[in-house]
A and B are shown apart, each in its own frame.
Chain A
Amino acid sequence: MTDRFAFAARDNAAADKPVENKPRWAETIAVFSKNKGAVIGFAFLLLMIILAIAGPMVSGYTYDGIELSRQNLPPRIQGIERLGIFNGTLGDRNMYEAKGYGGSYFWFGTDKLGRDLFTRFCCGVRISLIIGAISALLNMIIGVAFGLVSGYYGGKPDLLMQRFIEVLNGIPTLVIVSLLVIVLKPGMMSIIITMGLAQWTGTARLVRANTLRLKETEHVLASKTLGTSTVKILFREIFPNLLSSVIVIAMMSVPGAIFMEAFLSFVGLGIPNPEASLGSLINDGYQSMLLYPFQMTIPAVFFALLMLALNIIGDGLRDALDPTQRQI
């Protein structure tokens, strides 16, 4: 038996061990993937992206193929039709056989012009996602540039830029957006530009506030003392520290842009036919909601789910990247 009252060997002593330092992205992924809701939301978003890319290829139809003989067919899906749902019946009639399309399957049905709604849905998701993504990117670029300049230079320019933002914030988004789209003529590009222009003030404020704080930090002061150029300081020292909060706020603006697009569709300023967005599909379906509820219900449900998924992902990303933003 060893002497219990002898000094213990010091090899197992705790010297100051360096704390295991996971790379930032690994830690972010770890926190994010612990959040079940966010993971499910992310999976759903992935599914939608896959649908948006591959859907039109597998459906066998085109989004603008008009065929009046097959108008307003209800959804019919192979396999599931045996369960008594999605079997192509409206009331008790099998509309497919009645219209002579016994061998065809339109998963989401057809619209009043006989276009395949599944293909249109996939294209709609594609356009809605593109609008969301690009306008978020635009929002980020304008917001970061504006915020960085305003926060870093301070003084008079900052004051002017802040007043400018305050004035812009005083105008309701809905007014800016509708008027801009009227001027630019409805279409994907004009909607994207409008969204980018309407949303960036929040990002700019966040970036400015953070820049004000960061420019007083030691590492920035050190760079300044060493004579690093302003551009380098902005992009090497300040921007990397802003990135996570900017990503979060940009991610949070994606659902807002898609939402606004749906609103514009409703107002009559959305994506013009024959192209489709989720918003315009809902709006088309709304016209014949009482007769063919599926035409609206399907895109509406997916739209709501997509918004939910994007919001949850945004929240999850915020918790993982930048918990201080909780209030936003």
Chain B
Amino acid sequence: MQVDSGTILNIQKLSVAFQTTSGELNAVRGVDLTLRRGETLAIVGESGSGKSVTAKAVMGLRDSNQIIKAGEILYDLDGQVTDLLKLTKKQMISQVNGRRISMIFQDPTTALNPLLTIGYQLTEGLRIHRKMSRKAAWERGVELLDEVGITQPRQCMKRYPHHLSGGMRQRVVIAAAISCDPEIIICDEPTTALDVTIQAKILELIKTLQKKMNIAIIYITHDLGVVAKVADRVAVMYAGKIVERGTAYEIFFEPRHPYTWGLLLSMPDINAADTRLYSIPGSPPNLLHKVTGDAFAVRNEYALNIDYEEEPPVFKLSGTHEVASWLAHPDAPAIQIPELLRRQIEAKISHGDEQ
């Protein structure tokens, strides 16, 4: 794959493992992803599917027992396509982190240092990357807080994190993330720890800022509700692999992988006639063991014999839609989307509840 003009980040065959006391845990097993300028890509999956590890690899935020087994992360660094994995941590921190790629964390209560003021933490990036003076950075910090919708930004600068509510803290984190005009922001479950009412506001804020500053965003989430609200394209991850990817429309209305079906079915739906919520049976595989065939086979009620023998290749369904499932093979028995899900989708379309 080439880095074309629209693509700013290109992850190729990324494999990440963790060295644990009970062996090597293969958390990410060959992930390909591309991100285009200004778009929103959502990576969806259960906990432990490797979505966070993938995102953190982009930032060079590695745990000490983490090993990059293979792959490259190509990024256009000052006109030169660079493999971020080849940069040292020092280079990452001075050239990439905060400056070109920022991150928003899941839990705003723990993402801010309790002993440093909001102002200090907010302006730190400006002072380091933009070499701003303390005073100029402070003024810019006030503007940023205003921009993310904090009333009385001047007072807020002098406060400590525990004074602020969760939603406000997340706004501060967002302000810090955008402070140096990054090209990419990685949002790791940015709303999971927040109240439902605030969730929507934070998503809205990120969306507005994204449009204004033309930032590409990677959303890491397990919440399909969030995905539906924000994503242009979606990648579904399972057990360290991307099992299906496509535009948001394709994933929500024409899903092909049984795992995606399961995820969609387990989403609460106001229109659903059935009051019981579906849940995918079983639990994700233990990635300490070698996975033969399709990792999802044991939980898949449509599993084929071949799923236990050979890993499914990626089948291209359209220009944008890909699925890694043997069910897409021409020889596989034709199966329909589960009846329940089909009805849900139809209901959504007829309600005009579109994305």
Contacts and interface: CB of A to CB of B under 8 A. Distances in A.
A38 to B, nearest CB: 16
Contacts of B281: 13-16
A24 interface: no
A4 B309 contact: yes
A102 B48 CA distance: 73
B183 interface: no
Contacts of B329: 5
B303 A7 contact: yes
Interface string A8-20: 1010111111000
Given A13-B281, A14-B281, A16-B282, A4 B305 contact: yes
B326 to A, nearest CB: 7
A222 interface: no
A14 B295 CA distance: 12
B299 interface: yes
A2 B299 CA distance: 21
B204 interface: no
Contacts of A5: 304-306, 326, 329, 331-333
Interface in A190-221: none
Contact of A8 (B299, B307, B331): B307
Interface string A80-101: 0000000000000000000000
A15 B283 CA distance: 9
Contact of B298 (A4, A7, A13): A13
A7 B299 contact: no
A5 B305 CA distance: 6
A15 B281 CA distance: 6
Contacts of A15: 281-282
A10 B297 CA distance: 10
B301 interface: yes
Interface in A12-57: 12-17
A3 B306 CA distance: 8
Nearest to A12: B298
A13 B305 contact: no
B305 A2 contact: yes
Contact of B283 (A3, A6, A16): A16
B282 to A, nearest CB: 3
A35 to B, nearest CB: 12
B308 interface: yes
Interface string B257-285: 00000000000000000000000011100
Contacts of B300: 13
Interface string B310-348: 000000000000000010010111000000000000000
Query: Ordered nearest first, which 5 A-B pairs have the shortest CB separation?
Result: A14-B282, A4-B306, A14-B298, A8-B303, A5-B331
17 contacts: A2-B305, A3-B305, A4-B304, A5-B304, A5-B326, A5-B333, A7-B304, A7-B305, A8-B297, A8-B305, A8-B308, A10-B301, A13-B298, A14-B283, A14-B298, A15-B282, A17-B282
Given A5-B329, A8-B297, A8-B303, 15 more contacts: A4-B309, A5-B331, A6-B304, A6-B305, A7-B304, A7-B305, A8-B304, A8-B305, A10-B301, A13-B298, A13-B300, A14-B281, A14-B299, A16-B281, A16-B283
Interface of A: 2-8, 10, 12-17
